[in-house]
Amino acid sequence: MTETGTPTSGATLAWSPVRKALYVAFHDFKRILLTQYVDQLPQPPLVVASPYSVDQLTTIAFGADGRGLIGWPEHPSGAALLEGEVVIRAALLNPDGTLRAGPDGSAAPFSVPFPANYGNGLTVDFSAAAGPGRFALTAALATSKAAREVVYATELSADDGTVVTPAFRAEPDTGAAHFYPAAAYTEGGALVVAWMTAQHGGAVARVFDPGGAPKFNSVSCDESWFSVGARAREGMQGQPSVLFASDRVWIFHPGQPGYDSFAMGTVGWNMAWSDLWPAK
């Protein structure tokens, strides 16, 4: 347990395969914090940033080469806090968890451009993924305080944090609200993005090539989204989790178990990558 002397929340976890350590990103009211656990012992937390106000979730990811990224949404001013306006910020990490140089050459947090910058509610649904030579950030954002949130994804270079794929909508063909994005890369660099939407009855996913072009999948038999696992009644929402392991895509998500139409639980779905994206 890491003591900071202040209430903390918004914790997310990531494993560093090079460091063989568990990293925990979290925040208090004024600081973004990062600590690592080595041999089950917590190290003193690193203060990554001190934004004007943060009441959001954090996100963290490490690539196979040990390089990492930590991200968070923040309110840059009191007026922005009242209006629900947010800025997506990130920092690059060395394998040992220290900050490394970003787009401007300094080891400091930087802003990540998105075409929308409003969050409906107290938190912005937000996640990161690490892939070959790049990181992905996904966020559910709205273009105004009154607009619906939709899921965006962007890709950053793992070398210096510059944008390699400008932010794009995961599903641009609908005006429905989307929430709780999550993502993972396959070994070949394809990006699997999952999210929750009442319009489609729960968790859905879509596959993208490096660069953001939609990729064919064998579930929908085209390049569009596909339903994932058990459905969920409207209002039964929550954060999915995407994992690529042993050549299989795993998605854990909220849903209704088949044996109880009134219950909600965490259910799992998986498919071999070779089946989800068959060779053409």
Residue 183's pLDDT is what? 96
Which residues sit opposite 78 in a β-bridge? none
pLDDT tens digit sequence for 163-176:
999 999 999 877 67
pLDDT tens digit sequence for 97-145:
899 999 999 999 999 999 988 886 656 788 999 999 999 999 999 988 8
Left, alpha or beta for 96 (phi > 0: left; psi -120 to 50: alpha)? alpha
Residue 280's pLDDT is what? 45
Which of the pair, 224 or 40, is modelled with greater confidence? 224
pLDDT tens digit sequence for 13-37:
999 989 888 999 998 878 999 999 8
Judged against a pLDDT cut of 90, whether residue 197 lies above it is answered with no
Left, alpha or beta for 201 (phi > 0: left; psi -120 to 50: alpha)? left
Percent of the chain surpassing pLDDT 90:
43
Residue 262's pLDDT is what? 60
Give the residue from 260, 219, 269 showing the smallest Cα distance to 236: 260
Residue 118's pLDDT is what? 87
CB of 126 closer than 8 Å to CB of 57: yes
Handedness of CA 4, 32, 159, 23 (dihedral sign): positive
Could you give the angle at the alpha carbon of 169 between the alpha carbons of 168 and 175, nearest 5°?
Answer: 150
- Mean pLDDT within 182-189: 93
